[in-house]
Chain A
C-alpha cells in the first residue's frame, strides 16, 4: 500500500488519513470497541471508576498512548522513511489521539471534580480538541488558501501593496492638503497582521483604506473639473489596494486558523504530561 501510494504520487488521493488503507483508524476503532465492551460487560464495585480492573487497564493504555503521541514532535524532526514513515506516524497520531476521547472518558467512569484527575482529563481534551481543529484545518484550508492567493506568493502580495502605496503617494502629489491627509491616513492605518484577534478579521471596519475610499467617494460628488481626474486616480488606486488588502488579510486569517491550534496543542501537551505524572503519583501515593 505504502509503495503504491508513493508510486502513483499526486494521482493518488491517499493522505495521512487513509494511510495503509485506514489501518490506524481500524486499530483505534477496535481499541474503542474493546473498551466499550469491557466497560459495560464488567460489574465494578461499587461503581465504575478509575480504580477498578477495567479502570486501571484503560488508564494504563491511555497513558501509554499519550506518551507515544507526544513523541510525534520528536519523530517529525527525524528523517526516516519506509514502513515507519512520518505519514504513518501522523496517521496513527490522529486516530489514536481521537480514540483517547473514548478510552480516557471510560477510564474516568464519568466521575469528575475539582481535582488533579479531572484537570488532567480537561487538559487532555483540550489537546485532542485543538488537534481535531488542526486536522480539520489541514484538510480543508489549504485549498481555500490557494484559491485566495491565486498563485501569488506572500512576497508578491507585499510588493504589490508597496507599489500601490507608492502609486498612491504619487497620485496624491497634486492634491490639496486635506486630501493628502486622507491619503496619508489610508496608508498609515491600513495595517495587516497585528494582534491574534485582528488576524481573524479580513475586512476590519477600522481599515484606513476602506475609510479613505468612502471619504474620497464623498469628495467625488462635488469636484471642480481640474480635480476630477486627480481624485479618480486616487480612488482607482484605493480600490485596488482594498482588494489586495482583502486578499492579504484572508491569507493571514487562513494562516492563523491553520497555525493557532498548535499554540494550544503543544503547550497544553506539556502541562498534560506533568498533570498525568501528578495524577498517577497521587493515585498511588494515596492508594
Chain B
C-alpha cells in the first residue's frame, strides 16, 4: 500500500491549489528538518514531528516522534502511535493532515494544509506606529484642552467665585481663600494678618484700593496737610506726566492716594516708600504754589536742604508760648528765662571745687559731665527734662537761714509768691518771739496801767516793723546778684511801692528744638562721637545759646538719597509724613465706619 502527500494552499480569491510533495510512499516523516520526507517550514514544530506509515498488515498509522499535542479528529493522541482511517484529520500547531482517497490514483492521499496566517492588520499599523512619536504620547488635543480647562477652573473661576461671593466652598469642595493664588506678592509684616483676606483691602472688584478702606483701620492717622493745601501744592504736570496722571485719574487712581506711598505685594520693607522724590515732587518749589507757607523749599538733604531752623519760644502766653523758627545761620537766641552758662558748669573753678567736695556723694567724677544732668528718656531717644531738685539742688542750696540748733530753713522752689510769704512769716515769727522772750526775762515789777500797755504795744509794733524791714532785705538779697534765685533766674525787681514785688520770669526750657524731625540719640552713639561733638556746651557762656549742630555737621556723615560715599539719607530718615502740626485728622472720626480689627482675634 502506498500513499501520496499533497499540500493545499489558499490562493488570492479563495481558490485552493494543490501541490504534490511526495508520491508513492509507504512511510513518510513530517518535520521541519530538511532530512524529513515532508519538510514543513515552521519553527513551531519538531525537527521530525511525526511519521505516517503503512503497517505490514496494510493499516495506516501515525507515530509521534518529536511531536507533542497532536490531535486526531480533535482529540489529543495519548499513545505513541494511532491508526488512521480515511477521513481522519490530524492536527498540530497550525497544521492539519487529512487522510483522503484519491479517486484517480486509487491510493490514499494525505492532504497537508497550514492554516491561513490571518494577516493581522494591527501588526502592520503597530509597525508603522513605531515611527510615529505621537502614538507614544497622550493626545495633544486632550492635553491642551485638559490643561487649559484645569487652569480656567482652578486659577480663574474658583478664585473669582471666592472673591465675588466670599464663598468658602464650591460643590462641597473647600476653597477657602482660593483667591490668594491671585496675590502678586507677600504683604508687609504689619498687614500679615490680612494675607488670606484679599477682600479686606480690595473691597470692590475692578476698583483700586481706596483711602477710605485704609482709614477704616488707620482712623487716627494724621494727614500731611489740609486737603486744600495738598491740592494746591501738587506739581503742575505737563506732557507725558500729565497724560499719565489723566489716565490714572480716569481709572480711579488720583494722585496722593495712600497706595502712592504705601505699596503692598512688593518686598516687605518697601511698604513705607523711602524715595525722596515723593516729597520733593511738591517741596522742591512749594513756596511758588503755596505762597503762604512758612516752609522752605527742599529736594535733597545734601544738595538742597535749608539750614536747620529750631523752633524757639519767645514769650509765654495763655495758650502756650509763642514760637519762632530761626535759622542756625542767623544766631538764634533762646529765651528760656534761665541763666545757665554751660562752660562754667564744666570747668568753672567754683564748680570744680564743689564737685571735689560732693562728688563722692553723687557719683560724679573729677568734673561734671553732660550725663550728670541730662538723663536719656525711657526710649533712649530724647532726654528727661532737667529738674531743680534732681539736678541742681545739691549745689544750689535754697537755705535762707540757719536756726540756732543748726536746722536749715529752705525756700520752696518754683513758687516765688510762696517764697516771699514764707520769708515774711519766718521773720515776723522771729520778731514776735523776741518780744515774748524779752517780756519773760524782765523780772522787775511793773506798774499796771496805760503806760505799761502802751509800752507793750510799742514793742510789738517795733517788732513788726523790724520784721518787715528784715524780710525786705532778705528777699531783696535772694532776688539780687549773689542771691539764690538771681543766680539762675531772670528777675524783674519791684517797680512800685511794694518792696517785695519781685517777679521771676517764666521758665521756658525747650525740650525739642526741631519738632519736624526725628532724632534718635541712641543710634548716634558711634565711633568717638560724644555730646560736644555736636553740642558745643564746652564753649557756651550764655543760656541763650542754642547748642544745636548745623546741617553741615550732619552732612559730614549723611549724604543725599543717592550718595555713594556718605550714608544715603532720604526725607524719611528724619521726617515723618503723617506727623506734625500741618496734619489734620485723616478723616473725621464720625465719618468712619470702624472695622473690626482682627489683629488680636486671629
Contact = CB atoms under 8 A, between A and B. Distances in A.
Contacts of A84: none
B480 interface: no
Interface string A92-119: 0000000000000000000101111101
Given A255-B131, A286-B202, A267 B144 contact: yes
A115 B136 CA distance: 33
Nearest to B131: A154
A49 B183 CA distance: 13
Given A117-B184, A260-B133, A46 B151 contact: no
Interface stretch (A60-68, A174-182, A201-209, A216-224): A174-182
Contacts of B277: 43, 45
B160 interface: yes
Interface string A153-195: 0100010000000000110111011001001100000001111
A242 interface: no
A116 to B, nearest CB: 5
A271 B147 contact: yes
Contact of B134 (A263, A273, A284): A263
Nearest to A266: B140
A45 B263 contact: yes
B43 A193 contact: no
Given A46-B266, A154-B131, A268-B147, A278 B43 contact: no
A270 B147 contact: yes
Contact of A116 (B33, B163, B181, B202): B181
A243 interface: no
A274 B129 contact: no
A266 B270 contact: no
Contact of B43 (A46, A47, A158, A172): A172
Interface stretch (B205-213, B367-375, B417-425): B205-213
B558 interface: no
Given A173-B34, A274-B155, A184 B182 contact: no
Contacts of B136: 193-196, 199, 256
Contacts of A46: 263, 266, 270, 273-275
B133 A256 contact: yes
B130 A274 contact: no
Contact of B163 (A252, A263, A285): A285
B186 interface: yes
Given A115-B183, A267-B144, A270-B148, A170 B41 contact: yes
A262 B184 contact: no
Contacts of A27: none
A279 to B, nearest CB: 8
Nearest to B134: A259
A287 B208 contact: yes
B514 interface: no
Nearest to B138: A263
Contacts of B266: 46-47, 49, 111
A116 B182 contact: yes
A282 B43 contact: no
Contacts, number: 170
A275 B198 CA distance: 20
B209 to A, nearest CB: 8
B341 to A, nearest CB: 50
A153 B327 CA distance: 95
Contact of B47 (A176, A248, A268, A273): A176
A259 B43 contact: no
Contacts of B140: 262-263, 266-267
Interface string A230-269: 0000000000000000001001100110111011001111
B130 A193 contact: yes
Contacts of B156: 274, 277-278, 281-282
Interface of A (DSSP majority class): helix
Contacts of A277: 152, 156
A47 B270 contact: yes
Contacts of A49: 184-185, 266
Contacts of A33: none
Interface string A33-68: 000000000010111011101000000000000000
B462 interface: no
A285 B46 contact: no
B127 interface: yes
B143 A267 contact: yes
Contacts of B205: 285-286
B192 interface: no
B278 interface: yes
B119 interface: no
| Of listed A111, A248, A286, residue having the most chain B CB within 10 A | A286
Nearest to A191: B130
A2 interface: no
Contact of B147 (A169, A267, A286): A267
Contacts of B267: 47
A104 to B, nearest CB: 15
B446 interface: no
Contacts of B126: 193
Nearest to B270: A46
A259 B148 contact: no
A140 to B, nearest CB: 17
A251 B260 CA distance: 61
Nearest to A49: B266
B133 A286 contact: no
B135 interface: yes
Nearest to A284: B206
B165 interface: no
20 contacts: A46-B275, A49-B185, A111-B185, A177-B66, A183-B43, A193-B129, A193-B135, A251-B131, A255-B133, A256-B133, A260-B137, A267-B146, A273-B148, A275-B155, A278-B159, A284-B206, A285-B160, A286-B179, A286-B183, A287-B202
Interface of B: 32-34, 39, 41, 43, 46-47, 66, 126-138, 140, 143-152, 155-156, 159-160, 163, 179-186, 198, 202, 205-209, 244, 260, 263, 266-267, 270, 273-275, 277-278
The 6 A-B pairs at the shortest CB distance, nearest first, are namely: A193-B130, A271-B147, A267-B143, A282-B182, A270-B144, A278-B156
Given A263-B134, A270-B148, 20 more contacts: A45-B277, A45-B278, A47-B267, A115-B183, A116-B155, A116-B159, A173-B43, A193-B136, A194-B136, A199-B133, A256-B136, A259-B133, A262-B140, A270-B144, A274-B148, A274-B152, A275-B151, A277-B152, A287-B202, A287-B209
